Structure 1
């Protein structure tokens, strides 16, 4: 019996570290593409820097903040359970996981907005049909003078090996530019996701039924 349990754990660890890993969507920052409580699988296999593309939805791991590598757990029992989660690839672990959409690739410049309120990547507006709840941008407002809309942020250059990520629910998302919006002409400190933090890309929502692509918009 013990041998069978150990084999099952070993198979689970192999699957979650090399093929797919299950996650529960913890917040509404990606609505309506992903709803709070959705059960999804992240594809681990085949995810590398060369294949990661703009608009991919990624899961990335971090500690208490995006800059922290791991969570510091002072309780020895809880800490031991987190080590189990680290090995199995599911349950509590030493990393929190966040889900966002890749918008800026390494070397890209990203800013908001043009006169139509659209996001600009490398100076060109991009189509974002998945954004249903954006920050307000009243008619006549602008991003390059006066009092900017809360949707606005100045041009940001994405460093090598990193990504600028945003939530689809722009009006309620703590993402790469959350601390930069509405600061026309003012420098800020955006938060980037390093590739070594990326666990996988979202591929399949298996609950609630019916299952479907996690890329729905």
Structure 2
């Protein structure tokens, strides 16, 4: 008597098992990629969309910029920071995405809509004295005039508002490149910050609210460019002394 060959039932389950294993591996790869992307966004860098005209023509509305979070910020950097309290109007704040959009922002698959953030140029570090303006209409930082024509919006003055300030400890002084259309530190020199305190406290951005420095314009493709520190900031001397605990503010011009 001969045995008749029998069909094994193993082929189909093996196929299903192989498909399930591949599906599990794919899910693990996707989840791993999202985790890595989220970590990079949190600690290394992320992309932001420019929401307003305050940094024209360096940055235009709708530009996508890469912001890195590893390097300490310095004078002349273009910096992104959280609203220190009462700075943002509707025209300055990016449009808030829905839950799905926010998820893709958090995991780094969409550029940040910039909701709740601002972007300006860092003019003064803690302890710096900033004055407007000298006899030629130039901003002074620690007594050194800034030559701002390389980045200042065409036709704009360094500032229409006169002031002398010393930046307090743990804070920075920022200004937009489009000075006539920027609600920056100058505008808040008589405001009280969100926690209360002295008039003018709100003008100085806490360093712990700084997200990072913008280093690249990556979109639109035709506007790809590096963002660095203008040469004029390289000649600014160090602050004359340690930063004060409270800001020094005078809404008068410096001695001519």
Same fold (TM over 0.5): yes
- Length-normalised TM-score, structure 1: 0.72
Query: More deviation in 171-180 or 100-109?
Result: 171-180
Matches within 5 A, 1:81-92: 84=103, 87-88=106-107
Cα pair distance change 1:123/1:172, threshold 3 Å: same
For residues 83 and 180 of structure 2, what CA distance do their matches in structure 1 show? 23
Matches within 5 A, 1:1-217: 1-45=26-70, 47-48=71-72, 52-62=73-83, 65-66=86-87, 84=103, 87-88=106-107, 96-129=116-149, 130-133=151-154, 135=156, 151-180=160-189, 189=200, 191-210=203-222, 211-215=224-228
Q: Which TM-score applies when normalising by structure 2?
A: 0.62
CA distance in 2 between partners of 1:105 and 1:65 (Å): 21
CA distance in 2 between counterparts of 1:94 and 1:132 reads: 22
Q: Which residue of 1 aligns with 2:247?
A: none
Q: Which has the higher strand share?
A: 1
The change in CA–CA distance for 1:151 and 1:86 in structure 2 (over 3 A counts) is same
Higher helix share: 2
1:204 and 1:213 in contact (8 A); partners too: yes
Pair 205,83 (structure 1): closer, same or farther in 2 beyond 3 Å = closer
**8 Å contact 2:157–2:179 — kept in the other structure?**
no
Cα deviation code 1:137-179 (max 9, x no counterpart): 9xxxxxxxxxxxx713221110111100000000100100024
Q: Which has the larger radius of gyration?
A: 2
The unaligned stretches of length 5 or more in structure 2 are 1-25, 89-97, 191-197, 231-256
Task: Tell me how far apart the structure 2 counterparts of residues 7 and 63 of structure 1 sit (CA, whole Å).
Answer: 34
**Offset from partner CA, 1:91-128 (integer Å, 9 cap, x none):** 67996111100001100111211111110112231121
Question: Tell me, what secondary structure is at the counterpart of 2:37?
Answer: helix
Count of residues paired in the alignment: 186
> CA 1:196–1:64 in 2, change beyond 3 Å: closer, same or farther?
closer
Structure 1, unaligned runs of 5 or more: 68-77, 138-149, 182-186
Bigger drift between 166-175 and 127-136 goes to 127-136
SS at 2:185 equivalent: coil
